[in-house]
Amino acid sequence: MIPERKERQQELSDDLFLPVQNPSSSAEMIAKPSISYWKDAWMRLSGNKLSMAGLVMLILLVLMAIFGPLLTPYSYDHQVLTEGNLPPSSEHWFGTDNLGRDMFTRTWNGARISLFVGFMAAIIDFIIGVAYGGFSGYKGGRTDNFMMRIIEILYGLPYLLMVILLMVVMGPGLFTIIIALTVTGWVGMARIVRGQVLQLKNAEHVLASRTFGASAGRVIRKNLLPNTMGPIIVQMTLTVPTAIFAEAFLSFLGLGVQAPVASWGVMANDGLSVILSGHWWRLFFPAFFISLTMFAFNVLGDGLQDALDPKLRK
């Protein structure tokens, strides 16, 4: 075997080996352009057809909530008793209720209330949860233990009982619903932010900022929060449909907004009582848009969770 190897080595000459032509100018060229984190997240999100469908649905819902009531000559509380319980037609696109009020106008006025409650609850949860969770995770030690015990107490309070007590004390209304939803709604956001801050507060760029004398507020605002925005945005997209469903549920029980104000929950409650009479449109349209909004937010939240996950970045 050894003589054969020597013969093969002798057959190999320098002419068989040529250097690769790689000039210095092209050696340092970037083969692939750099893509920012947010641009990469958008590319991955846009590749998710179901999530993009949910985003389009939400944009259309918001546009119709803004401009929908302007497409008809009726107001949400305009009553024409002689036109009660009319089925959908060219004059009344979603039909009318028992008082002759146009269901199309009331549906999109209800969308305004439901989306307003959902977005306000998400914004308030964001402000309180980020501030509380960020400070708790950054401080750590006894401060973190004390603040987390407060969260555990709030998390254990019966939600419906608190809502009923607030309704008794403050009276039913839109403002009371927002307060009731945000009394304990920020707890989940605070937990997520705290967990992210605990993972990042010992990173090199955070330690460098602290070494140069940056205050705790500046470190949290400049170094920690930008790196936790992915989970925060996902949590907000899941908070909105939860708040919308809670508002519809409370209004359905009579604890939310009161007539004649239009709300999807109020309209569903009114439509349920006449569903056996054949007036199906009175329950169908508010229930359909509640379900559609919940579906759109949830599929968008799932898509954002995958798109903003740095572990899945290519």
N-term to C-term CA, the chain = 48
What residue has token string 């579906």?
A: 295
Query: What is the DSSP code (8-state) at residue 206?
Result: H
- Quickly count: other Cβ atoms within 10 Å of residue 128's Cβ: 17
pLDDT band at 68 (very low <50, low <70, confident <90, very high): confident
CA distance 12 to 150: 78
Fold designation for 47-65+97-312: MetI-like fold (1.10.3720)
What residue has token string 């839109």?
A: 174
pTM above 0.95, yes or no: no
Q: Write the pLDDT tens digit of every residue in 2-39.
A: 555 555 555 656 666 666 665 555 555 555 566 666 78
- Quickly count: other Cβ atoms within 10 Å of residue 153's Cβ: 11
Query: What is the DSSP code (8-state) at residue 269?
Result: H
Exposure class string for 20-57: b at 16+ Cβ within 10 A, else e: eeeeeeeeeeeeeeeeeeeebbeebbeebeebeebbeb
Checking if the pLDDT of 258 tops 80, the result is no
Average pLDDT over residues 104-113: 90
pLDDT of residue 61: 92
pLDDT band at 288 (very low <50, low <70, confident <90, very high): very high
Count of residues making up the chain: 314
Average pLDDT, the chain: 81
Residue boundaries of the structural domains of the chain: 47-65+97-312
Q: Write the pLDDT tens digit of every residue in 49-59.
A: 898 999 999 99
The sign of the dihedral angle between the CA atoms of 302, 307, 309, 314 is positive
Q: Write the pLDDT tens digit of every residue in 207-234.
A: 888 787 777 778 877 778 777 888 888 8
Checking if the pLDDT of 174 tops 60, the result is yes
Phi/psi for 96 (5° steps) reads -130, 165
CA distance 236 to 124: 10
Judged on CB neighbours under 10 Å (0-12, 13-18, 19+), 117 is buried
Is the separation of the CB atoms in 103 and 94 below 8 Å?
yes
Q: Write the pLDDT tens digit of every residue in 35-45.
A: 666 787 788 88
Report CA-CA distances (Å) from 312 to 40, 101, 307, 309: 10, 51, 8, 6
pLDDT of residue 30: 53
CA distance 4 to 20: 30
Report CA-CA distances (Å) from 56 to 60, 64, 90, 236: 6, 12, 26, 18
**Both structure tokens of 148:** 């987390």
How far is residue 19 CA from its own chain's centroid?
56
